[in-house]
Amino acid sequence: MNWDWEKLQEKRQRQSGGGQGPGPGWGPGGPNIDPIGDSLKKLRGFKFPAGKLIVGLVFLLWLASGVFIVEPDEVGIVLRFGQYDRTVEAGPHYHLPFPIENVYKPKITEIRRVEVGFRSIERGSSFQQGSLRSVKEESLMLTGDENIVDVQFIVQYQIKDPVEYLFNVTQQGWTVKSAAEAAMREIIGHNVIDNALTKGKTQIQSDCRDLLQVILDRYGAGVRVVAVQMQDVHPPKEVIDAFKDVASAREDRSRIINEAEAYRNELLPKARGNAAQIVNQAQAYKETVVKNAEGEANRFLAVLQEYNKAKDITKKRLYLEAMEEILGNSEVEKLIMPEKGLSQVVPYLPLDKLKTKKGGE
């Protein structure tokens, strides 16, 4: 607020020239010192400091704009004049205000995904199950046996090196999708269509993930590939019926082969067991016969040795042992007759009993 000093002086002169005598501040010796006038004179060049206050507040706000917080799933990348300066971990931090320094905070734990060969139709904030739009220029691929197959798959990845991820490549999602499509085409080109449609999917996914990681590392993309998942693999619609017939024939062939192998696996062990049993029985019989023959031969040699030592005694002993064995057999019917009776009686054989015995057997 400025004071108009000249207008104030004119007003005082008009008041003093009106015949009312000298006004205040005028003494007998001339004008005296006017304390009020001196105070107003000091306030003549004074300005209220509102502009400086506003500038100070703006400066404080500018300094405070450098405060930032890094969340637990993030990492802070600080740039100074557009060039990488440092990396900060989770928590509160400070950087020099813009335009000196600025900060990026990528989420390093978030699992990102790209879709190749199809697009999910988004409804609101979620993807509707089963609502897919096929992208033929991405999904149609050529196999190693020169067949066309429609491959739709998903790539899941996360940030491995945030500095490389932010500054080495642009449009990171598009880069991952393009590299994934190239890797899948190469892997499919080294496999036959049967592997892609049936038993080889797991190996194809693993090989594609490894090759994609090599490509992205070569680009310096700062990305780690978590998984490659094949969503739908089928022949083109024009020939899908023929492929279904072929697949059914292969399933029938596999079923018949499995049944034949099951029958073979059931029959061969039994045959091997029976053969081993027969061989073991023959071996046991051979060992028994050989051992018995050896025993009889040794017994005969022992008897012969004793016989040579005492022939009469040995003969009598052998005779008695033979008679003891015969007479001691309960199955043999014996007729005991005196020596005198043998000369007077016709020898008798019980033929009727023998016949009855044989008939009973």
Mean predicted lDDT score pLDDT of the chain: 81
Question: What per-residue confidence (pLDDT) applies to 356?
Answer: 56
Low-confidence winner among 20-29, 101-110, 120-129, 257-266 (lowest mean pLDDT): 20-29
pLDDT top residue among 131 and 163: 163
Q: C-alpha 152: how far from its chain's center?
A: 19
- Whole-model pTM: value is 0.54
Question: What per-residue confidence (pLDDT) applies to 289?
Answer: 92
Residue 70: its H or E element:
strand 67-70
Percentage of the chain surpassing pLDDT 90? 35
Q: C-alpha 22: how far from its chain's center?
A: 107
- pLDDT bracket for residue 62 (50, 70, 90): confident
Residue 213 pLDDT more than 80?
yes
Residue 220 pLDDT more than 70?
yes
Question: What per-residue confidence (pLDDT) applies to 351?
Answer: 64
- Residue 149's nearest CA partner among 228, 239, 242, 245 is 239
Here the tokens at position 114 are 């790209």
Distance CA 187, CA 220 (A): 22
* pLDDT, average across residues 122-134: 60
Residue 66 pLDDT more than 60?
yes
Question: What per-residue confidence (pLDDT) applies to 237?
Answer: 78
Contact 69, 95 (CB under 8 A): no
- Each domain of the chain, given as residue ranges in start order, spans 51-104, 112-235
Question: What per-residue confidence (pLDDT) applies to 299?
Answer: 85
Contact 175, 208 (CB under 8 A): no
Question: What per-residue confidence (pLDDT) applies to 55?
Answer: 85
Question: What per-residue confidence (pLDDT) applies to 156?
Answer: 96
Question: What per-residue confidence (pLDDT) applies to 170?
Answer: 87
Residue 245 amino acid letter = D
Cβ partners under 8 Å of residue 157, min gap 6: 111, 112, 113, 114, 176, 223, 224, 225, 226
Angle, helices 201-219/172-189, rounded to nearest 10 degrees: 130
**pLDDT for 298-320, tens place per residue?**
888 887 887 788 888 888 888 88
Residue 2 pLDDT more than 50?
no
Question: What per-residue confidence (pLDDT) applies to 346?
Answer: 64
CATH number for the domain running over 112-235: 3.30.479.30
Q: C-alpha 92: how far from its chain's center?
A: 36
Which three-class secondary structure state does DSSP give residue 141? strand
Question: What per-residue confidence (pLDDT) applies to 280?
Answer: 93
Residue 180 pLDDT more than 70?
yes
- pLDDT bracket for residue 210 (50, 70, 90): very high
Cis peptide leading into 99, omega within 30 of 0? yes
Strands of 83-88's sheet in order across: 83-88, 76-80, 101-104
Show the DSSP H helices in the chain as ranges: 5-16, 35-42, 50-64, 136-139, 162-167, 172-189, 193-197, 201-219, 240-309, 311-327, 339-344, 351-360
